[in-house]
Amino acid sequence: MNPPPIQTDVFIIPILETFLVYAPLRRVAFFTNPAGVNLLERLRHGPIEPETTEQDEFLRFCAEIKLTGSEGDFPITTFDVAEYLPNEVTLFLTTRCNLRCVYCYADGGETPERTMTLETAKRGIDFVCQSARARGLERFGVGYHGGGEPTQNWRVLTESFAYAKELAKANGMEVYGSMATNGVLTPAKRAWIIENFAGVNLSVDGCPTVQDAQRPTPGGKGSSRAVLETMRAFDAAGFPYGVRLTVTAQSVDRLPESVAYLLEHGHPKRMQVEPVYTLGRGKAGGLAVDSQGFVEAYLEAKQIAAPTGVDFYYSAARLDVLTNRFCQSCGEGFSLTPSGLVSSCYEVPDDTVEYAERFLLGNFDEQAGQYRIDGEKLARLRDYRVEQIAWCQDCFCKWHCGGDCMYKSQHSLQEGVFAGDPRCEVTRALTLDLILERIRQSGGKVWAGNLEQASPADEPQYSLEN
């Protein structure tokens, strides 16, 4: 018996009176009518003989764009290695913070103060250096992240990274440093960052009105001037940085203006825009932005950003990514809380946050002199794949968002099962926009990304320039 011509995931998205056919693993999308969808559905079950000239042309069209046929699926990325061998450590240096962002997921600055010791940081760096060597890698990474503002534990930050550089040098390796910061920095700190790190992410929400309202100092003063100074210093030094904007119900209407403002006053390489997470202080009433409003503002802002060439994105809409996991939280992440606990997720910066127990994998065993990782927890995290999430099975975004953020999904469980949340609406709308953009860029009829790609083995031996 002949195999069915369609052997890949195909999703149908009704739009007005037409249907968008989307095969994410073949990178194929086009619009057709009900007759076209029904013909495709028949192809799912087995070969058919065309009954009309139009059907014959349609079948040839599907073959040309590689929608049909047994070969052509792009690979889905998953874990680099089966073992738990992280090559990056993220250090949550402190819960202290010099801002009081109204939506802070970690309640930064308002939880009992905890700061990481240099010894704890060094242990984590040792671990990822060894893991990277075990994997045959020539470099490892050290990142600095919240709960609080990493630069508030400045001594440990600078000394730990100096240690990482020495360690890398001793092992013939490279180390790359990165950080998420609020950008309220002294000139000396800016200079150190420029000198030492490969890049940073600045959390900044846009024009001064928005920034000052959403990201004030503990005394209630604005932070926009200080952050702008940091952006200018980075730009002046040619230092690569990204910005991340959090959008609330209060700021959503000003998102286009905020994006324009930041692009007029700085030159970030990346611009990530996210709706506020309803975690920590973000649970406060009135901050949550509705999905439709966010999508509208995002698309408007995206158009403003387009001419500048900045990489403008929302984390879960990523058409070029085919994966079964949203991020490394699902069993690859290695982060250390201030007290030295191993967390797999950036959003679990210590053991006080909700659902922390699900993401805290282990700790350092002083007697054994090594990290002790809870294998059962690790397995459970690794099992959080999009293939295992019933809600996602029929979703056309599933191979791109990989089931979205595992930590946030914990807040949307119904009887222990994920049943979608407002981010799904945002992800779908923005993924759909990206698909339409590809169709437009491909001439307006069909996006056949599989004709535009090749595996490394297919690289031409000779080019026209030879």
Partner 1 sequence: MPGFNATRPHFELRRVPAKHQEAEGQAGEVEVYELSDLPAIAPALHLKRRDLLTLAGLSSTALFAAACSRQPDARSDPTPTPTITPRPTFTATPPPQHVLTVQASRPAAECLGLNAAGSKIVAAAFSPDGFLFATVEEKDWVRVWNVSTGGLLRKYRQNNDRGTAVAFSPDRSRLASIADDGKTVFIYNLNDTGTNERETIVTNARGSLVFSPDNSLLAFSAAGKMEVWTAASPPKKTYELGAECFAISPDGRHLALAGSTNQVSLHTLSNGNLERPLAQLKSGVKSFFFNADGSYLAVHCQDKSIQIMRVEDGAVLQSIQLTDGDLSVLAFSPDGRTVLTKRLAYFALWSAQSGIMVSMITPYGFIGTAVPSPDLTVMAEIYEKSINLWNFQGTPKKLGVCFFDKDTMPVGSKALTYQETDAAGITRTYALPCGAPIPSGAACTCNCVPGTGLDLPPPCSCVSDTSGGGGFCSCNKICTCIPVRKYCFVMFKPEDRH
In the chain, the amino acid numbered 14 is: P
Using CB under 8 A as the binding rule, the residues of this chain from 390 to 419 that contact partner 1 are: 393-396, 419
Please report whether residue 376 would count as binding partner 1 according to CB under 8 A.
Answer: no
Closest CA to 19 of 8, 27, 10: 10
Q: Which range binds partner 1 by CB under 8 A, 185-193, 219-227, 306-314, 368-376?
A: 306-314
CB of 238 to partner 1, least distance (A): 21
CB of 99 to partner 1, least distance (A): 23
Please report whether residue 18 would count as binding partner 1 according to CB under 8 A.
Answer: yes
Closest CA to 424 of 333, 324, 314, 323: 314
Q: Which tokens in the block code for residue 248?
A: 């609330």
Q: Answer left, alpha or beta for residue 415, where phi above 0 means left and psi between -120 and 50 means alpha.
A: left
Q: Which tokens in the block code for residue 438?
A: 């590809």
Please report whether residue 13 would count as binding partner 1 according to CB under 8 A.
Answer: yes
Q: Report the residue number, 9 or 354, with the smaller CB distance to partner 1.
A: 9
Q: Which range binds partner 1 by CB under 8 A, 15-23, 108-116, 188-196, 341-349?
A: 15-23
Please report whether residue 371 would count as binding partner 1 according to CB under 8 A.
Answer: no
User: What does DSSP assign to residue 282?
Assistant: G
User: Which of 19, 234, 313, 364 touches partner 1 (CB under 8 A)?
Assistant: 19
Residue 95 in contact with residue 112, Cβ under 8 Å?
Answer: yes
Please report whether residue 134 would count as binding partner 1 according to CB under 8 A.
Answer: no
Cα 125 from chain centroid?
23
Q: Report the residue number, 124 or 256, with the smaller CB distance to partner 1.
A: 256
Tokens 């490969």: give the residue.
198
Cα 322 from chain centroid?
13
Please report whether residue 336 would count as binding partner 1 according to CB under 8 A.
Answer: no
Q: Report the residue number, 122 or 267, with the smaller CB distance to partner 1.
A: 267
User: Which of 126, 174, 235, 290 touches partner 1 (CB under 8 A)?
Assistant: 290
Q: Which range binds partner 1 by CB under 8 A, 132-140, 215-223, 227-235, 442-450?
A: 442-450
Three-class SS state of 138: coil
> Can you list the positions of beta strands (E) in 284-425?
311-313, 335-336, 342-343, 360-365, 370-373, 413-414, 417-418
Q: Report the residue number, 78 or 363, with the smaller CB distance to partner 1.
A: 78
CB of 237 to partner 1, least distance (A): 23
Q: Which range binds partner 1 by CB under 8 A, 146-154, 193-201, 318-326, 361-369?
A: 318-326
Q: Give the angle subtended at the CA of 289 by the CAs of 268 and 397, to the nearest 5°.
A: 75
Using CB under 8 A as the binding rule, the residues of this chain from 157 to 186 that contact partner 1 are: none
Please report whether residue 235 would count as binding partner 1 according to CB under 8 A.
Answer: no
Three-class SS state of 200: strand
Rg (CA), the chain: 24
Q: Report the residue number, 65 or 128, with the smaller CB distance to partner 1.
A: 65
Please report whether residue 77 would count as binding partner 1 according to CB under 8 A.
Answer: yes
Please report whether residue 289 would count as binding partner 1 according to CB under 8 A.
Answer: yes
The residue length of the chain stands at: 466
Q: Which tokens in the block code for residue 162?
A: 């100096």
Q: Which range binds partner 1 by CB under 8 A, 78-86, 160-168, 171-179, 434-442?
A: 434-442
Q: Which range binds partner 1 by CB under 8 A, 160-168, 230-238, 283-291, 367-375?
A: 283-291
Q: Give the angle subtended at the CA of 87 by the CAs of 86 and 89, to the nearest 5°.
A: 85
